[in-house]
Amino acid sequence: MPFNGLLFSTYDYFSLIAVAALDKIRIVLVRTFHAGNIGSVARSMKTMGLSDLCLVNPRDFPSAEATKMAAGAYHMLDQVRVFDSLNAAIADCRIVIACTARPRGYDLPELSPQQAAEMCLGEATDSSAAVIFGPERMGLHNEDIQQAKYRLTIPASADYNSLNLAAAVQIVSYEIFKAWSSELPDPLQPSRELPSTGEMQQFYQHLEQVLTEINFLRPHRGETLQRLRHLIARAEPDVQENNILRGILSAIQKSRR
């Protein structure tokens, strides 16, 4: 497949498109209190292929504690953008999703983590999408939620539904990565060329002919053939496998003759 004058495989092409989509998904932390949580969030994001981390009025950043908690993702902290307002952090985003456990009196359409991930990826092909998280103690304020279009709620126990900030980001990041991965072809699995309907009909006719010749189909011919059809349909043989099966049938006929 040509791309910018080069030749790319289908997998390479879709990988480039998908990675570009991940780059457009933004995690926004609003008024984060503990610097260590910023580092933990950076680490959570990196493990799931996300890189765009923005902060709104963090209490302590840059911070040695953030660098420490980021572990192998400390370099992401050098790319973090810091804003004075949430509006500035999401100004270029068409889709903004507020992660909160409660509507706080300003209700929005509610999304599951999976739905939010799919929506972010769908939007990220054209523009940036953002998921915003509030401070550790109180979560997002009403005025923060009002700047979002959707509300994301992570299912949790009714007895204690307060998630650690980095844990919440990890869950959302994982759902985004999972949705992203499902859209890519598996490079370890070569594409399978399936036989046409006509070719499969020829195989079934050949199978019936051979089973008739070896007197296998008596006395429940129709039922046996139908069960064999179901069995083979579930196996979904590709072109090469279908040719092997046809070869086996031909070999049986040749042996009998």
CA pair distance 30, 63, nearest whole angstrom: 16
Determine the residue type at 198.
G
Provide the CATH number for the domain formed by 2-182 in this structure.
3.40.1280.10
Helix (H, G, I), strand (E, B) or coil at 84: coil
197: Cβ contacts below 8 Å, ≥ 6 apart: none
- Tens of pLDDT, residue by residue over 98-124, are 998 865 555 788 999 999 999 998 887
Q: For position 11, what pLDDT does the model report?
A: 42
pTM: 0.67
pLDDT level of residue 135 (50, 70, 90 thresholds): very high
Judge contact between 92 and 150, C-beta under 8 A.
no
Q: Would you tell me which CATH number, out of the four given (3.10.620.30, 1.10.3720.10, 1.10.8.590, 1.10.510.10), belongs to the domain 197-256? A: 1.10.8.590
Q: For position 107, what pLDDT does the model report?
A: 74
Residue 124 phi/psi, 5-degree rounding, is: -70, -10
Q: For position 36, what pLDDT does the model report?
A: 93
Number of C-alpha atoms within 13 angstroms, CB side, residue 154?
21
- Tens of pLDDT, residue by residue over 35-93, are 999 999 999 999 999 999 999 999 999 989 999 999 888 889 999 999 999 999 999 99
Residues of each domain in the chain carrying CATH 1.10.8.590: 197-256
Residues of each domain in the chain carrying CATH 3.40.1280.10: 2-182
